[in-house]
Structure 1
Amino acid sequence: MPLPPFARAVRRGRTGLDRAEAALVEEYSDLVRLAYLTLPSSLSRHRRILVAHSLVQRSLPGTRSGRPGPLVPAPRGTARRPVAEKDRLRGQVVRSALAHGRSPRGWPRGLPPPRTVLPTLPVVWGLRLFPRAGGAEEIALSQALAGTTPAGRAAFVLRRADGLADTAVEALLRAAGVADPEGALRSANRLDESAGAAARNLLTSREFDACSVQTRPTDLLRRRRRVRFLWAALTAAVITGLMLSVARQEAAPPRPAPGSRTGVGLPGPEDLVRTAGDVWADTSRVDLTAWPARGARANDRALLARALSTWSRPAPALRVTTTPGTPTDPPPRSPQLLYAGNLDGDAVVLLYDGRRVVRYSEPLGAPGRGALALARADDADVTTAAALVVHRGARGARYLLAPWIAEARSRDLVRPDSPARPVGVARDGVTVPVPAPTRRAACDSRPVLQLRSSARVVEKHAFLLTDLGELSPVHLTYTPLPGHGSPPARLPREATGGPALLAWAHLACGLEELRGTGVRAVNAWDFAEQELPERGGHAVWACTRVSTWRGPGDVELVLRAPASSPSAPAEVVGRARSTAACGRFGRHVVADVHWRARSGHWYLLAAGSRAVTRIDVTGEVTARQQGRTLAVRAPRDSRLRVSARLGDGTSLEPVGGPGR
């Protein structure tokens, strides 16, 4: 018996809904990843996971998330062909993720958008969710994703993880309400350049899998205390409030008048930003903004007022030190308080204004006779914002560690085989004095900090920092030889393994030349290896890149020939200043040097990085060698020109020069 038209329409609707639900269940993980990476990076990882699952689960036709606009239309000329349910769901997920957090027109400022007034399923109480941590490549890609637009992130995921063509991605973004899909594709292209060929593998790794998550409790101790002291707190609330009010009126110093102390329009102690102690464990921005205010004198208004006043209007006789490129102007807004306390006879205050770290110190018993140090700290990350030098004395430097540091050790960089020793850390995050690197010509010691991050931010992530006389210690990294575990994109990794420590033992003494130059990080890149002529042994070519907080970087190329000591300094073969060589945007390099064999004969040695296919020598000696290394007999004072050829036919000149 044929069904009436109404019944046939109902059956078709149910069948379509069933197909959509089946597609959602089948592609659930991919859709959640798409929503998770498209959502605003300002959300915490826990919040983004829950919102991503909520958007995907509400993407079926007829649900609330389907109301803002139509689903993805069929391409022109194929209107009669049904659109794949997976593409429909993708379009709805992208539309909802891009719209998340927007307030409708006319919505009162300061109130959350309507969708966040009441929680939507799924809801998790008492637990924090976050994806499992990946390696250095995943961390670098996560930072690159956070720096682009949501539409660009969506285009990147659709192209690399879901395998859509550019035309399909553009059509899907346009249907999802993106005003500039071409711009989103350009952003995806830039992400492709930074991630390289491994983009798909990185996107499908556990770092970006919002369906395979770890859990941690939120506040077990705090909840126990709340239950235990609930009635006592309610009883004493009014009395405590009255006592604190009276105490503030009696103990608080008079607020600086306009034009005095902190000056007209400048912030006072009561304006300082104070971050809660547990923010670092639930934020996508793990840097100095997540540091809580610590120290026994964090509420000393008089000390804080003197620090702000000195920063705003330093006296002519005040000792002010700055790293190169650091402005000394007053804070443009209320700075963040990082630390205030007494250390080894001095009162110390650390402040942060979003681009600079400022340390004010004064001798105890002599208020106002202090010193001021300023250093750039903009764009710091989980490693470069892991520690600050809070005090220096005869016994060494004390560091204030970031709240996400779980372990601190000290090791000697010139002794790669010596074990790391524990460093004592007080409850407020200040270390015991750590010996400073020796400044003698012998260079017989180079102490460095070896820190390990908490698993709540990065799983088993250890890294090295060294003191070069500034507020921020310098991050040391290492890139291994091609074929020795180096990733395709040759991203720097932490210098804590055996090969990294052996390489840095030969480079440690050269770090002293960088003291006070505003260095942020130094990477040692072993770009080639070579067997020396006349059985001279195995040598390694390396390039150390010095990155500054200002942006420009300098490089130094060295040759590590066989030596009697594991920490014998490597031979410098070339230098270059303010260059992109040996970095992310200068991955091709060639270097040369004259080398003397045991027989007394002189050779010209040359080597190139991974993409070099041929090396040519012209001048008083002519030679050509296929491959990445060359060794040819040549007098020491001969005039020669070395060039290399890349796989794409591009010619490459040596970086710097050996000074011949």
Structure 2
Amino acid sequence: AQAALNPALLLKVPAAAWESSARTDFSVWPARGDLTGDSALLRRALAVWARPGESVQVSATPGTPSGGPAGPPQLLYAGAVDNARVVLLYDGLRIVRYAEPRDGTEGAALDFARVDGADRAASSAVVLGRADGNIRYLTAPWVTGAAERDLLKPGSGAMDLTLTGGATSPMAGPAQSGACTSWNVLQLTDASGTRLLTDLGELVPARLTTGRPGSVKDASGAGALRAWAPYACSLGAMRSSGVRGVNAWTYASQPLPDTNGTADWVCTRAETWQGGGERVLAQFHTPGSTYGAVAAKAENVPACGAKDPQVLAGVLWKSQAGSWYLLAAGSRGTSSISATGGVTGSAQGNLLAVRTRQGAQAELKGTLADGRTVGGLR
């Protein structure tokens, strides 16, 4: 245990090690920053990790142990970031960020994030610091380009960020409060392609993907950007829950009654680092609307996940002619849908539209092609 507190024993990976390694994850990140030789700073960081005092602000993502290191950890970064001195450490299970004010050591902060099993995409970036609504990231050594873009405006293009020793210039983070008029995300490029990551208030940003569960792809192409835009603001509901990635899956398209065009049904599912606590939103997007509407939400359910990519959800909708309908949609493989309670009706296939009244309540049941039944997400 004493060895874990000795800065001289910190593991420092050579700068080019990742190029010849069979692994592409945090274990091959080199030690970067202008204070990697500051043994006093590193000693303080290790001591606070082992025994944070009452004055230290400690945070940890859900399911992340906050105990001290079992052995000497790996140094990822030590340097000045805005008005702080920052140390990033990795012990194979967790990323740990120690920060202290530039003008002293009082008011230190210690943040933990679970990253076990991180692959190339999941180990692309870590938050270096936040100041005045802006975020700086430290990127993986294999990242060749960084930019910020507004997920709400898929046609607006990306603004390049400078990379200095792997650290990005500051970018505006997603709005924390008030009306959601933009949602800024980090766009990273490497030899394997381009991916988008979003800040959800934790050390490691969450990867954004699109597609049917089990065959998702990074949300980087024009089609994927358009697919995510109406649902960007719903990411705010997934903050601070240890999210590893969020997928948006357009599981059905529904012609609207009274010739009002076609609506999309999208399921957004957040997977967590710890496993469990997954958050699922079924969202409904009508033509011309800026935002999708959350029709149903649930936690700790298999819906919209790779293990059981089934979902059924409904919404009350008012047509331009002033008529109210219960609309419902199931994913592919739904052979029929029925509604009971305040609204009764049924339909073959994966779509249902029943005339009703404002405020009506209904229970939904779907039958799958294999005979199984599913209830409406709620």
Query: What TM-score range do you get, normalising by the shorter chain?
Result: over 0.9
**Corresponding residue for residue 56 of structure 2:** 318
Please list the CA deviations of residues 17-53 of structure 1 after superposition, one character each: whole Å capped at 9, or x if unmatched: xxxxxxxxxxxxxxxxxxxxxxxxxxxxxxxxxxxxx
Deviation at 1:555, TM superposition (A): 0.4
Deviation at 1:444, TM superposition (A): 1.5
Is the contact made by 1:356 and 1:378 (CA closer than 8 Å) also made in structure 2?
yes
**Corresponding residue for residue 161 of structure 2:** 423
**Corresponding residue for residue 498 of structure 1:** 222
Matched, 1:563 2:301: no
**Corresponding residue for residue 542 of structure 1:** 266
Please list the CA deviations of residues 583-614 of structure 1 after superposition, one character each: whole Å capped at 9, or x if unmatched: 11121111111111122211111111111122
Deviation at 1:437, TM superposition (A): 1.5
**Corresponding residue for residue 376 of structure 2:** 654
Is the contact made by 1:275 and 1:290 (CA closer than 8 Å) also made in structure 2?
yes
Pick from 59, 67, 85 the counterpart of residue 347 of structure 1. Answer: 85
Counterpart AA for 2:197: L
Deviation at 1:395, TM superposition (A): 6.0
Deviation at 1:340, TM superposition (A): 0.7
**Corresponding residue for residue 218 of structure 1:** none
Q: Kindly report which structure 2 residues correspond to 1:176-187, keeping only aligned pairs within 5 A, or say none.
A: none
Going from structure 1 to structure 2, the CA distance change for 1:425 and 1:625 (only over 3 Å counts) comes to same
Counterpart AA for 1:560: H
Matched, 1:308 2:32: no
Aligned residue for 1:534, secondary structure, equals helix
Deviation at 1:284, TM superposition (A): 3.0
**Corresponding residue for residue 526 of structure 1:** 250
Going from structure 1 to structure 2, the CA distance change for 1:639 and 1:390 (only over 3 Å counts) comes to closer
Deviation at 1:278, TM superposition (A): 1.9
Residues in 2 aligned to 1:623 and 1:394: alpha-carbon distance in whole angstroms = 53
Going from structure 1 to structure 2, the CA distance change for 1:337 and 1:577 (only over 3 Å counts) comes to same
**Corresponding residue for residue 234 of structure 2:** 510
Going from structure 1 to structure 2, the CA distance change for 1:639 and 1:415 (only over 3 Å counts) comes to closer
Residues in 2 aligned to 1:399 and 1:297: alpha-carbon distance in whole angstroms = 17
Aligned residue for 1:643, secondary structure, equals strand
Deviation at 1:633, TM superposition (A): 1.0
Deviation at 1:299, TM superposition (A): 1.7
**Corresponding residue for residue 310 of structure 2:** 588
Residues in 2 aligned to 1:545 and 1:330: alpha-carbon distance in whole angstroms = 32
**Corresponding residue for residue 298 of structure 1:** 36
Q: Kindly report which structure 2 residues correspond to 1:278-427, keeping only aligned pairs within 5 A, or say none.
A: 278-367=16-105, 369-394=107-132, 396-426=134-164
Aligned residue for 2:116, secondary structure, equals coil
Is the contact made by 2:314 and 2:328 (CA closer than 8 Å) also made in structure 1?
yes
Kindly tell me the number of residue pairs found equivalent between the two proteins: 377
Please list the CA deviations of residues 64-89 of structure 1 after superposition, one character each: whole Å capped at 9, or x if unmatched: xxxxxxxxxxxxxxxxxxxxxxxxxx
**Corresponding residue for residue 92 of structure 1:** none
Higher relative contact order (CA 8 A, sep 6+): 2
**Corresponding residue for residue 479 of structure 1:** 211
Sequence identity percentage:
42
**Corresponding residue for residue 174 of structure 2:** 437
Residues in 1 aligned to 2:238 and 2:95: alpha-carbon distance in whole angstroms = 20
Is the contact made by 1:643 and 1:652 (CA closer than 8 Å) also made in structure 2?
yes
Deviation at 1:521, TM superposition (A): 0.9
Going from structure 1 to structure 2, the CA distance change for 1:622 and 1:363 (only over 3 Å counts) comes to closer
**Corresponding residue for residue 81 of structure 1:** none
Counterpart AA for 2:40: A
Aligned residue for 1:405, secondary structure, equals coil
Going from structure 1 to structure 2, the CA distance change for 1:307 and 1:621 (only over 3 Å counts) comes to closer
**Corresponding residue for residue 126 of structure 1:** none
Structure 1 unaligned residues grouped into runs of 5+: 1-262, 481-488
Going from structure 1 to structure 2, the CA distance change for 1:639 and 1:323 (only over 3 Å counts) comes to closer
Aligned residue for 2:168, secondary structure, equals coil
**Corresponding residue for residue 453 of structure 1:** 190
Is the contact made by 1:395 and 1:433 (CA closer than 8 Å) also made in structure 2?
no
Counterpart AA for 1:443: C
Greater per-residue strand proportion: 2
Please give the TM-score of this superposition, normalised by the length of structure 2. Answer: 0.95
Please list the CA deviations of residues 424-482 of structure 1 after superposition, one character each: whole Å capped at 9, or x if unmatched: 010x111111112122322112111111112xxx2xx11101112211111111116xx
Going from structure 1 to structure 2, the CA distance change for 1:368 and 1:640 (only over 3 Å counts) comes to closer
Is the contact made by 1:590 and 1:606 (CA closer than 8 Å) also made in structure 2?
yes
Counterpart AA for 1:605: L
Deviation at 1:418, TM superposition (A): 0.3
Deviation at 1:264, TM superposition (A): 4.2
Greater per-residue helix proportion: 1
Is the contact made by 1:375 and 1:472 (CA closer than 8 Å) also made in structure 2?
yes
Aligned residue for 2:282, secondary structure, equals strand
Aligned residue for 1:275, secondary structure, equals coil
Deviation at 1:342, TM superposition (A): 1.4
Deviation at 1:401, TM superposition (A): 0.4
Matched, 1:628 2:360: no
Q: Kindly report which structure 2 residues correspond to 1:105-124, keeping only aligned pairs within 5 A, or say none.
A: none
Pick from 326, 331, 335 the counterpart of residue 613 of structure 1. Answer: 335
Aligned residue for 2:65, secondary structure, equals coil
Going from structure 1 to structure 2, the CA distance change for 1:598 and 1:302 (only over 3 Å counts) comes to same
Residues in 1 aligned to 2:363 and 2:167: alpha-carbon distance in whole angstroms = 54
Is the contact made by 1:306 and 1:368 (CA closer than 8 Å) also made in structure 2?
no
Deviation at 1:503, TM superposition (A): 2.4
Deviation at 1:559, TM superposition (A): 0.5
Aligned residue for 1:399, secondary structure, equals strand
Residues in 2 aligned to 1:651 and 1:437: alpha-carbon distance in whole angstroms = 39
**Corresponding residue for residue 299 of structure 2:** 577
Is the contact made by 1:387 and 1:400 (CA closer than 8 Å) also made in structure 2?
yes
Deviation at 1:420, TM superposition (A): 0.8
Residues in 2 aligned to 1:545 and 1:424: alpha-carbon distance in whole angstroms = 32
